Amino acid sequence: MSVRILNISKTYGRQKALDDVTVEIGEGEIVGLLGPNGAGKSTLMKITTGYLAADAGHVEVCGYDIDTEPVRARSLIGYLPEHNPLYPDMYVREYLTMVAHLYKINAPEAVAEIIERTGLTPESHKKIASLSKGYRQRVGIAQALIGNPKVVILDEPTTGLDPNQIDEIRALIREIGRDKTVILSTHLMQEVNAICDRVIIIDKGHILADGKAAAIADKVGGGMAVEVLFDKDIDVISAEKQLNATITPIGEHEYRVESSQSEDLRAKTFNYAVTNNLVILSLLRTDNNIESIFHKLTRGL
């Protein structure tokens, strides 16, 4: 096992951030921690990296306990914190060389290799303050790679980037995942689909689901949002029976139609609407929508 997070609990004052969380991650996995703001993702990452102490439980990194062997354990982890703290007045290469010195690495070629790998070569002589947000994020990822860690932990690595930068950073993370274990946090289902082998859904300090993204989507079942022309046109009870689905109003003329099975309900709903003379204004599949997944998972499936 690359990372073992065992029975971790953490309370800030009266706010319980993590409640008996256990996760085991194998070597080479790319795992996405998916959850809304306040779910406990950052807290879990800070505890895993040894930046924050848990109230209960323990963490092992490649067999080393983060509390009893912190130096060994932490030397195996690279960490990009949520707000990517950098020194804006330093030059890229200068900053990364300083980080390397902190790791007692005195090899310019090691820094050069990381600059190359993270696509920073053209920007390496610039000041950090003058870089775009995407390049600053690359610098944050580069500093996480110094010391050649076995496990890389990235807290919300694409938040605040534009779509092109997001694609580039995701490609870089996939590339890093070829020879390292990667744990990243996100509140976007599509991010998990784009990068991760495995997704752990977390909310209010509890793990709600853990597995392959496609398997979780299957388990959660099909769902969609339908907008009909007139509110009174939809006889919910008969529609529910005929479609074998649950229908809940989500807007003035809008309903959520959900199936307990993994089923695409669009064709069935369309045919139902035609037979009952309902006018459909829009029909959108929502299985991959995090809100609908949370909605279902928190209702206990």
Q: What does the binding site for ligand ADP look like in residue numbers (CB under 6 A)?
A: 12-13, 15, 17, 35, 37-43
Of residues 183 and 243, the one with the C-beta less far from ligand ADP: 183
User: Min. distance of Cβ 206 from ligand ADP in angstroms?
Assistant: 12
Of residues 11 and 193, the one with the C-beta less far from ligand ADP: 11
3-state helix, strand, coil in the chain (%, to 5): 40, 30, 35
User: Min. distance of Cβ 38 from ligand ADP in angstroms?
Assistant: 4
Of residues 11 and 148, the one with the C-beta less far from ligand ADP: 11
User: Min. distance of Cβ 291 from ligand ADP in angstroms?
Assistant: 16
User: Min. distance of Cβ 88 from ligand ADP in angstroms?
Assistant: 24
Tell me how far apart the alpha carbons of residues 44 and 168 are, in angstroms, rounded to a whole number. 26
Give the single-character DSSP code of 123: G
Tell me how far apart the alpha carbons of residues 111 and 96 are, in angstroms, rounded to a whole number. 7
Of residues 118 and 158, the one with the C-beta less far from ligand ADP: 158
CA 3 to chain CA centroid, Å, is 17
User: Min. distance of Cβ 203 from ligand ADP in angstroms?
Assistant: 9
Of residues 26 and 36, the one with the C-beta less far from ligand ADP: 36
Q: How many CA atoms lie within 13 A of 117 on its CB side?
A: 21
| Element holding 182 (H helix, E strand) | strand 181-186
| Element holding 136 (H helix, E strand) | helix 133-145
